[in-house]
Amino acid sequence: MGIKYSNKINKIRTFALSLIFIGFIVMYGGIFFRSSVWLMTVFMLLGLLCIVASTGVYFWIGMLSTKAVQVTCPTCQKQTKMLGRVDMCMYCNEPLTLDRSLEGKEFDEKYNRKKQKES
């Protein structure tokens, strides 16, 4: 079975959402150390830092999303946002590219890297 690709914007949003849940879990972990005020405070602050980091990631992807190129997916006919040379449709996971030299080639996220190793 091949690698499961998804849209870059959705990947980053999923990461930000996971940071929120990690922050809550770390904060709840602090409850087990109620007897030690310092240890509980450390856990609470680490959880808060995860949630603040998630807010930063959401802000960053929001700004990046406003600059993304909007294209119409040829398969589902919906408007989707594209980051980089190749990306996937947000709705149907159809490989998309704006680079004519990559049309017809198998989808690979390595095409988005600036320096590619010649094989």
Position 31 pLDDT exceeds 60: yes
pLDDT band of 114, cuts 50, 70, 90: low
Q: Could you give the CA distance from residue 44 to residue 86 in angstroms, rounded to a whole number?
A: 40
In tens, the pLDDT along 50-93 reads 999 999 999 999 999 898 888 888 888 889 888 877 777 888 87
Share of the chain above pLDDT 90, in %: 41
Determine the pLDDT at residue 119: 47
Nearest CA among 99, 105, 100, 92 for reference residue 7: 92
Q: Between residues 100 and 16, which one has the greater pLDDT? A: 16
- When pLDDT is averaged across residues 98-114 and rounded to a whole number, the result is 63
